């Protein structure tokens, strides 16, 4: 059997960085970043796929500056909405499959319980709208796709909420953090490992009978940004990190007290039953993933 070739975008992002490690045993991974291919340039994306000729395209690359997207609409649309469709079209020509990553921001965020994949999508930001358009463009281009909707991604590599809290807690005795938005911090390593599990099944067993479609991929459990910040600071102190702030000095505030250009979903909780049943997976608690990241960066 010939060696599998996997095209991986966004190699320098939180998830892309971890995917380089996780996918490596499955075949030749051709990993590209913005410097190698501008995903806002549809012709460049087509040329890349035609040159690499992969069996599988894994696309974590995205325009993720949520607030900036409100004014940078054209670029967000090119990367998040158009590029996934182009990748799908080129994959279909090669008989390749696509694994693509989306977000909890495709939902309005007002549901009481956890969102399931069949719930109505109603994004309330440019970022959310362009990510939803990207899902639909990929779905229209090829049936051979998996879309993973993730939430609150955190990794040892790159910038994220946990690192921001540690930086602020080193300088300030008191922090104010939003307490009325809920979700599950999901480690980039977990996302990469689950993706690799799914990719291995696809490459081994082929496309016939494979459960393509849209899945929620998030860690188990749930928390608020406020309680998440308390956990990160408490764990860092326990690991011997000298911080000015303590978990008790993290003050809860409503989202309305911290206005941002883009509206965030109040409820980002994702039901992962479909993913776990389809691929026989156990998803660990969010605290396990965050603890592991803190061990790496502290």
Q: What is the CATH number of the domain that holds 209?
A: 3.40.50.720
Is residue 204 assigned to a domain? Answer: yes
Is residue 80 assigned to a domain? Answer: yes
Q: Could you give the dihedral angle defined by the CA atoms of residues 187, 18, 161 and 248, in that order, rounded to the nearest 10 degrees?
A: 50
**CA–CA distance, 8 with 153 (Å, rounded to integer):** 18
Pairing of strands 250-253, 153-154: unpaired
The domain tally of the chain equals 1
Phi then psi for residue 270, to 5 deg, are -115, 130
Is residue 177 assigned to a domain? Answer: no
Token digits of residue 183: 């979700």
Task: Indicate the average pLDDT of the chain.
Answer: 97
Q: Is 228 a catalytic residue?
A: no
Is residue 243 assigned to a domain? Answer: no
Is residue 108 assigned to a domain? Answer: yes
The model's pLDDT over 42-53, given as tens digits with 9 standing for 90+, comes to 999 999 999 999
Q: What is the average pLDDT across 49-59?
A: 98
Q: What is the pLDDT of residue 3?
A: 79
Is residue 229 assigned to a domain? Answer: no
Is residue 124 assigned to a domain? Answer: yes
Is residue 75 assigned to a domain? Answer: yes
Choosing from 63, 115, 127, 228, the catalytic residue is 127
pTM above 0.95, yes or no: yes
Is residue 229 within 8 A of residue 253, CB to CB? The reply is: no
Judged by DSSP in three states, 230 sits in helix
Token digits of residue 147: 């879309």
Is residue 152 within 8 A of residue 161, CB to CB? The reply is: yes
Domain of residue 109 covers 5-160+185-221+269-284
């Amino acid at each position: 059997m010939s060696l599998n070739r996997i095209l991986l975008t966004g190699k320098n992002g939180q998830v892309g960085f971890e995917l380089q490690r996780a996918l490596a045993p499955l075949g030749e991974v051709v990993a590209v970043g913005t410097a190698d291919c501008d995903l806002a340039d549809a012709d460049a994306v087509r040329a890349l796929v035609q040159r690499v000729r992969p069996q599988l395209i894994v696309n974590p690359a995205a325009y993720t500056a949520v607030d900036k997207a409100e004014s940078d609409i054209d670029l967000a649309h090119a990367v998040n909405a158009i590029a996934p469709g182009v990748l799908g079209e080129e994959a279909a020509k090669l008989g390749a499959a696509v694994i693509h990553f989306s977000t909890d921001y495709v939902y309005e965020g007002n549901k009481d319980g956890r969102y399931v994949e069949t719930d109505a999508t109603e994004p309330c930001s440019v970022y959310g709208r362009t990510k939803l358009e990207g899902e639909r463009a990929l779905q229209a281009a090829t049936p051979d796709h998996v879309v993973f909707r993730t939430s609150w991604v955190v990794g040892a590599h790159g910038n994220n909420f946990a690192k921001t809290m540690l930086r602020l807690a080193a300088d300030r005795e008191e922090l104010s953090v939003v307490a009325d938005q809920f979700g599950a911090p999901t480690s980039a390593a977990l996302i990469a490992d689950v993706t690799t599990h799914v990719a291995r099944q696809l490459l081994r067993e082929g496309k016939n009978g494979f459960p393509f479609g849209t899945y929620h991929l998030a860690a188990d459990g749930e928390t608020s940004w406020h309680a998440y910040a308390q956990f990160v600071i408490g764990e860092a102190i326990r690991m011997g990190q000298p911080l000015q702030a303590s978990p008790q000095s993290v003050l809860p505030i409503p989202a309305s007290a911290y206005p941002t250009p883009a509206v965030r979903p109040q409820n980002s909780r994702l039901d992962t039953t479909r993913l776990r049943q389809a691929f026989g997976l156990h998803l660990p608690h969010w605290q396990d993933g965050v603890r592991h990241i803190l061990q790496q960066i502290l």
